[in-house]
Amino acid sequence: MTNRQVARELVLSVKTIEYHLGNAYAKLGVNSRVGLTTKLLR
């Protein structure tokens, strides 16, 4: 899903989604959804 779709589904702003995804990416050492998916599937 795109950030906009996630925001709409969760009734949050796109900026909120971007903020939290950025924090998750930093903690996991990735910089994209593809990297996140790869990391989570290992």
Q: What confidence tens digit (pLDDT) does each residue in 1-41 have?
A: 999 999 999 999 999 999 999 999 999 999 999 998 998 89
Cβ within 8 Å of residue 31, ≥6 positions away:
25
Residue 34: per-residue pLDDT: 93
> Which pLDDT value is given to residue 14?
98
pLDDT (0 to 100) of residue 11: 98
pLDDT at 42 over 90: no
- Give which of 39, 41, 4, 8 is closest to 24, Cα–Cα: 39
Per-residue confidence (pLDDT) for residue 25, from 0 to 100: 94
Q: What pLDDT, on a 0 to 100 scale, did the predictor assign at position 15?
A: 98
Taking a C-beta distance cutoff of 8 angstroms, is the pair 9, 1 a contact? yes
Q: Residue written as tokens 């995804």?
A: 21
Residue at token pair 């906009």: 4
**Residue in the block written with tokens 């593809």:** 34
